[in-house]
A = this chain, B = another copy of it.
Amino acid sequence: MKLVFATGNSHKLAEAQAILGPAGVEVQSYKGPEPKETGTSFLENALIKARAAFEATGMPAFADDSGIAVEVMGGAPGIFSAIWSGGRDDKTNRDLLLAQMVDIAQENRGASFVCTIALVTQSEEVTFTGVWPGRLALQASGENGFGYDPVFIPEGFEVSAAELDPEVKNAMSHRSMALGQMARFLSKP
């Protein structure tokens, strides 16, 4: 089975191939003109991107919308995670979030990584969501991963998501949860 993944992010593509490959799904990246992300939720934005890819390619397509939701910010950055600093530079986004949270003590830094995947085919639209609980670090650490990984301490760990082996991260991340749900959905007879 062949699916197009509407993403220009090589990290996300590699994660998807690692998780869906063993399920017999061949993942091709598709990078078309980016639709405006006018949705007000991860789900709406994932659908907007998956529909655009399906319409452009005529092939079954999926897209993800994901981000970090900080409790004391009411779930922000949320759908705005990728443009939090006004641009798309990961480090600038992370540094801004740490600066905003500078006076907030560790016990109030609860946060989750959230990923919603929308799959759009000729016959249906389905969505899958994974949530990875943890907290916002006091400072960045680690060289693996991307996005907010260096400032996210997963529940049960004392290191950031960027300090985990990619295999460990792929076994438990928000995106792997959502991709795993999709893999199970696709493998149903």
Contacting residues, chain B, for A37 (C-beta < 8 A)? 103
Which 3 A-B pairs have CB atoms at the shortest separation, nearest pair first? A74-B74, A86-B99, A76-B76
Contact of A73 among B72, B80, B96, B102 (CB under 8 A): B80
Interface size class of A (residues with CB under 8 A): 20 to 34
Would you give the shortest CB distance from A70 to chain B, in whole angstroms? 8
Contact of A99 among B83, B101, B108 (CB under 8 A): B83
Count copies of this chain in the complex: 2
Q: Nearest CB to that of A48 among chain B residues?
A: B103
Would you give the shortest CB distance from A92 to chain B, in whole angstroms? 10
7 contacts between A and B (CB under 8 A): A38-B104, A40-B72, A73-B74, A73-B76, A73-B80, A74-B78, A85-B96
- Please report the C-alpha to C-alpha distance between residue A100 and residue B103 in the assembled complex, in whole angstroms: 22
- Please report the C-alpha to C-alpha distance between residue A73 and residue B78 in the assembled complex, in whole angstroms: 7
Question: A83, B105: Cβ atoms under 8 Å?
Answer: no
Contacting residues, chain B, for A105 (C-beta < 8 A)? 38
Q: Nearest CB to that of A36 among chain B residues?
A: B103
Question: B100, A95: Cβ atoms under 8 Å?
Answer: no
Which parts of A68-90 form the interface with B (CB within 8 Å)? 72-76, 78-80, 83-86
